[in-house]
Amino acid sequence: MPTGAGLDSQAVRLAMVQRLVAQGLRHPGVQQAFATVERHRFVDSGLVAQAYEDTSLPIGWGQTISKPSVVARMLELLCADRPARLGRVLEIGTGCGYQAALLSHLCQEVYSMERIRSLHERARENLRPLRLPNVHLIFGDGMAGFPSGAPYAGIVAAAGGQEIPAVWLEQLAVGGRLVAPAELTPGRQSLVVVERTAHGYVRNVLEAVLFVPLKSGVA
C-alpha cells in the first residue's frame, strides 16, 4: 500500500507511473523502478515541487534531468525482450544520478560516467544515502566509453552527438543493445537503437528527441 506523506509518499510516485503507463510504458521492471526511486531527491530544492511532473529540469552546469517519459522510453527500449535483469550496463552522462538509480533496479551492474566533475560529485552525494552496491560512478570522458568494464549488455547515453561513437559499439557485447540520441540530420536529434549481433550491427532510428550535446574531454 502507498506510504508516507508529501513528496516522500509512494502514492506520488505511483501517480507518475500511472501517467507513464497511460503514455505507453509497458515494461513491469521499468514501472517498478520508477515507483521505487524518489525523483525529488535528485533535483534542486527550489524545483522539488515539479519533480514528478513530466518535464526536464535544470541541474546546473548547463545540464538537465530528462523528463520521466523520455527516461522511461529509453529504459524500456534498453530492457525490452531481455532477461528480467540485464547484466553489466554502461551509462554515458551520470548527471544528477537519477537514471543510474533507476538502472540499479534493472541491471546487475551499472557503470556510469560523467565528464563534469561537479556533477559527478553531486551524483555521488545524491546516491550515497541509497547505498546501491551495484552502481559504480566514474569521472571521465564518456566519448571513449569505459573499456575496463566491457563488454556491456547495454549502453545508454544522455547526450547526443552527430553520430554514435564507434568505441561505444565496440564495447557492446554480442546480443547487447545501445540506446542513445544522435543528430543524424543537422539540427535534429533522433533516438537510435543499435543491437550487436554475431554478424554485425542492426540500427533503428526512432522518434525525434532533444538532449544536451555530446562533448569530449572533462571539465
Q: How many CB atoms lie within 10 A of CB 211?
A: 22
Nearest to 159 by CA among 114, 123, 204, 219: 114
Annotated catalytic residue, options 9, 56, 66, 112: 66
Whether 56 is catalytic:
no
Q: What is the dihedral of CA 181, 182, 184, 186, to 10 degrees?
A: 100
- Strands 86-92 and 152-157, bridge-based pairing: parallel
Residue 125, classified by CB atoms within 10 Å of its CB into exposed (0-12), middle (13-18) or buried (19+), is exposed
Nearest to 193 by CA among 212, 207, 173: 207
- Residues annotated catalytic, as ranges: 66
